[in-house]
Amino acid sequence: MNLPSTTKVLVIGYVWPEPRSSAASGHVMQILETLLQQGWDITFSSPAGPGEHKADLAALGIREVPIELNNSSFDTFISELAPDIVLFDQFMMEEQFGWRVEQHCPRALRVLETSDLQSLRHARHQRLKDRLKLNPDQNDFSDLFAPALSDEYALMAQSDLAKREIAALYRCDLNLMISEVEIKLLTEQFGVPAQLLHWCPLMIDPPVAEPAAIAGRANFLSIGNFRHAPNWDAVLWLKTTIWPLIRQQLPQAQLHIYGAYTPPKATALNNAKEGFHIMNWAEDALQVMSAARVCLAPLRFGAGIKGKLVDAMLCGTPSVTTPVGAEGMHGRHAWPGAITQSAVDFANRAVALYNDEAQWQQARSAGYALLTERYPQSVHGPALTEKLRYCQENLEQLRVTNFTGSMLRHHSHKSTQYMAQWIEAKNRQPQETSDM
């Protein structure tokens, strides 16, 4: 296959990127920046309206094109653009636009950026709900944090969401996976061919400047987009159980909770007397992280890897989290802080890190080692572009060997196509009026 001199990439985003609001958007931006470094021509499109903290893609040289769901105007748009690579941001965009891409640009490489396995996150959320119904105790969640991959599969396989999401993985030529644990789950339990998956974690090089020492820092910090259910659940666990335990040992301790799109139910939790402060959105997340002494991330469910914890390492801020929070993030390396399974242990480890300078310094050093080993953009960026080029050069053979994907495209895209065409036709019908 003769590759074009300048590769044209179309990204179809579920939302417009907001890298200062979510790790998922941050990952998308890292991918875009990697492709820009290759001199590739990039167009970003989305059916969503612009969010409050939308990144200025045009300033980076990326064209911004709004698109519509269930509208044949997209067919004209993509035919004229004729991209070499189409990157779907989240599987719902592949469901909506995949058949149109295949119909009008059959030779375009179709890539899915997953951010995390949504069906895994939803299954774990349901497991937490079931656990709390059977046992309302808010302390020990060790039974929740240690399922075998076969147990994860058994729970996920019952859901329509998993069937939709994994079908989308098969229909694409390549899927970017942020977590090695999720790759293992897909290959060992769901039987997804390894050639369809590429490990592409957050891509961050260690800082050059030395962050502030412990003496120049104060307070605990928790951060995360409030629209993301795991983050809201973590705030509730902090409020009801963990923070009171920390305050018993540190009566003057202060916790600052930052997050985009703060709802009234979160603002209502603010209590200055308890040192529990809802701070809304952080204009500069790295700045507030660098000023904090310890980052708290008591995640009871979730998937993917956690941008807030990578930010903590980048800022030299030790963190306390759960096995879900640390999943897929540290490999064989020590965690830069503590991983706990109960509220009591979480509080004790947080207090110890806050008070013990030697322990705090050791955790900070572990964070730098982890960043250097697992997350350098200088490693993962070239690996990504090399994989994309390989898939372009071997596209025909890759599709021949992915018969399941071909079969799913044949059946699913036909039904999606007919539904989309029916919706478009219905929307075009003039509204009936009545004199009654």
Query: Domains in the chain, please, with CATH?
Result: 8-122+127-203+378-428 (3.40.50.2000), 214-375 (3.40.50.2000)
CA dist., res. 377 & res. 381, Å (int) = 5
Alpha carbons 402 and 101: distance in angstroms, whole number: 18
**How far is 206 from 209, CA to CA, in rounded Å?**
9
Predicted confidence band of residue 432 (pLDDT cuts 50, 70, 90) = very low
Neighbours of 325 (CB within 10 A): 25
- pLDDT tier at 434, thresholds 50, 70, 90: very low
**What is the dihedral sign for C-alpha 385, 388, 390, 392?**
negative
Edge-to-edge order in the sheet of strand 255-258: 276-280, 255-258, 220-223, 294-297, 319-321, 337-339
Residue 417 pLDDT > 80? no
Q: What is the CA radius of gyration of the chain?
A: 23
Report pLDDT for 436: 37
By CB atoms closer than 10 A (0-12, 13-18, 19+), residue 150 is exposed
Q: How far is CA 337 from CA 244, 313, 315, 317, 409, in A?
A: 20, 10, 13, 9, 45
Cα 209 to Cα 211: distance, rounded to the nearest angstrom: 6
* Arithmetic mean of pLDDT over the chain: 93
Q: Which pTM does this prediction carry?
A: 0.92
The better pLDDT of the pair 333, 418 is held by 333
